[in-house]
């Protein structure tokens, strides 16, 4: 149990189906190492959030659909950046494989801004006014 806890990454954002993410993957070529970004829609998150958890990302590249499945806690993933969150009603978005163009668009989630609860300006202590 302790071995699996040591391998978990704590700096990863919470990934859900419907999010558009950019995954920065470390690629080793000979003695050099570079980072390659892969941007697309998260179609599924499987096997929970533990060591065996995976997520599938899909993008359209030159008219061809490309899907990649990444382990959540892989040491080859440098970082994951969530770019956009869409409103979805399914945990698995496999139906997106058949959709192209405008049909593949997804509605963005509306962010509700909650105003900060602060004292109103009338209750703030008044500054001393000087009249000359």
d(CA 51, CA 66): 24
Structural domains for the chain: 19-95 (2.30.30.790)
Do the Cβ atoms of 15 and 82 come closer than 8 Å? Answer: yes
Q: Which residue has the higher pLDDT, 117 or 56?
A: 56
**pLDDT of 125 strictly over 60:** no
Instruction: Kindly report each contact of residues 33-38 with a partner whose C-beta sits within 8 Å and lies 24 or more positions away, as own/partner.
Output: 35/78, 38/68
Q: What is the pLDDT of residues 81-113, one digit of tens each?
A: 999 999 989 899 998 888 877 777 777 776 666
Q: How high is the mean pLDDT of the chain?
A: 84
pTM over 0.85: no
Q: Determine the distance from the C-alpha atom of residue 114 to the mean position of all C-alpha atoms in its chain, rounded to a whole number.
A: 22
């Amino acid at each position: 149990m302790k071995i699996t806890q040591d391998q978990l990454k704590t700096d990863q954002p919470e990934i859900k189906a419907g999010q558009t993410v950019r995954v920065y993957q470390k690629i080793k070529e000979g003695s050099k190492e570079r980072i390659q970004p892969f941007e697309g829609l998260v179609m599924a998150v499987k096997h929970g959030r533990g060591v065996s958890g995976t997520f599938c990302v899909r993008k359209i590249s030159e008219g061809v659909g490309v899907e990649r499945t990444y382990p959540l806690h892989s040491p080859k993933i440098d970082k994951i950046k969530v770019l956009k969150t869409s409103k979805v009603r399914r945990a698995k978005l496999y139906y997106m494989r058949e959709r192209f163009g405008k049909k593949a668009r997804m509605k963005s989630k509306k962010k509700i801004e909650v105003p900060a609860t602060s004292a109103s300006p009338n209750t703030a202590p008044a500054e001393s006014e000087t009249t000359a």
